[in-house]
Amino acid sequence: MRVFLTGATGFIGTAIIRDLNKAGHQVLGLARSDAGAASLAAAGVEVHRGDLEDLESLRSGAARSDGVIHCGFIHDFSRFLEVCEADRRAIEALGDALVGSDRPLVVTSGTGMGTAAPGEPSTEDHFDPHHPNPRAGSEIAAEAVAARGVRMSVVRLPQVHDTEKQGLVTYSVAVAREKGVSAYIGDGLNRWPAVHVLDAAPVYRLALEKGTPGARYHAVAEEGVTARAIAEAIGRGLNVPVVSLSPEEAAGHFGWMAMFAGMDMPASSALTRQRLGWRPTQEAGMIDDLDRMDYSAA
């Protein structure tokens, strides 16, 4: 299958490329810059120039493919509402090129979209279109594309990690480095789900190959790692004190990330494992990778 991949030069996208190639698929990778195009070409990937806000480039890339994986996202969380709106437009544009065909489209969302009640693990079969998180717009757009006859499915991501990056936890490391303390809010027992990047990639491929139209899948290996455990690992790595903050203190410490830092958002992947036959194989969990990270690098 020739797969058009957005986010091809990114942290998760590069892992998806390796997994797709290993399974015998060919990748058409979206590249925004000359450097990105060169890195894709060096990896043996066919390059498609454009970016996530160039909707015509997305339509033409999807039109040249047998299937699409959309894992690209503009990672500027300081303007989260704006970039979520851009993601909605991107999904609609990709869908434009696939209407009337049986070619699959796999889009990306977050596991928080599957939370039905506070404290309960997020599940694949739940989605509230009125969810206050602006990322809900990605799934609303995906459902609209599916209603037009596109074979759409959604992969929801938790915090994706290795020894260099860990999703939002990467920003927590940067804040701790800047502030000289590693912090959590309250008792720090709120939980974030996690998955190793090499385990996340196969979920996209399996959804592409055999996903049920309209289904949602969770790339979750660890249902919930506590904020306190994460803060303590960062404290060990940076050799800085670990402190508890009140909710009122959080905004001043975490900045834009305060809206996420206190969330309790465990997530299950039981249905994904059952329906796709996916099993995480990487031994390293989130805390393992934080403990093995080189904190001397910024």
Tell me: pLDDT of 230 over 80. Answer: yes
Write down all domains in the chain, each with its CATH number in brackets: 2-158+196-220 (3.40.50.720), 161-193+223-266+282-292 (3.90.25)
Task: Name the strand (E) or helix (H) holding 105.
Answer: strand 104-110
pLDDT (0 to 100) of residue 259 = 85
Distance, CA of 9 to CA of 35 (rounded, Å): 10
Sole residue written with tokens 């970016």: 51
Q: Give 104's pLDDT tier (boundaries 50, 70, 90).
A: very high
* pLDDT tens-digit series, residues 163-207: 999 999 999 999 999 999 999 999 999 999 999 999 999 999 999
pLDDT (0 to 100) of residue 103 = 97
Phi-psi map region of 279: left, alpha, beta (phi>0 left; psi -120 to 50 alpha):
beta
* pLDDT tens-digit series, residues 8-58: 999 999 999 999 999 999 999 999 999 999 999 999 999 999 999 999 999
Q: Give 111's pLDDT tier (boundaries 50, 70, 90).
A: very high
* pLDDT tens-digit series, residues 114-142: 999 988 999 999 999 988 889 999 999 99
Taking residues 251-267, report their average pLDDT: 93
Distance, CA of 63 to CA of 41 (rounded, Å): 20
Tell me: pLDDT of 297 over 90. Answer: no
Strand pairing class (191-196; 222-226): antiparallel
pLDDT (0 to 100) of residue 261 = 94
pTM attached to this predicted model: 0.96
Of 6, 3, 44, 8, whose CA–CA distance to 27 is shortest?
A: 3
Tell me: pLDDT of 77 over 90. Answer: no
Distance of CA 295 to the CA centre of its chain: 23
Q: Give 3's pLDDT tier (boundaries 50, 70, 90).
A: very high
Give the tokens for residue 274. Answer: 């059952």
- How far from 161 is each of 19, 120, 153, 250, CA to CA, in Å? 16, 23, 23, 24
* pLDDT tens-digit series, residues 271-290: 999 999 999 999 999 999 99
As a three-state string, the secondary structure of 57-103 is: HHHHHHHCCCEEEECCCCCCHHHHHHHHHHHHHHHHHHHHHHCCCCC
Taking residues 258-279, report their average pLDDT: 96
Torsion angles phi and psi, residue 222, rounded to 5: -110, 120
Q: pLDDT exceeding 90 applies to what percent of the chain?
A: 92
DSSP state of 267: B
What three-state secondary structure class fits 217?
strand
Which strand ranges, in their side-by-side order, compose the sheet holding 222-226? 159-161, 191-196, 222-226
Tell me: pLDDT of 293 over 90. Answer: yes
Mean pLDDT for all residues in the chain: 96
Taking residues 233-243, report their average pLDDT: 98
pLDDT (0 to 100) of residue 279 = 98
pLDDT (0 to 100) of residue 298 = 58
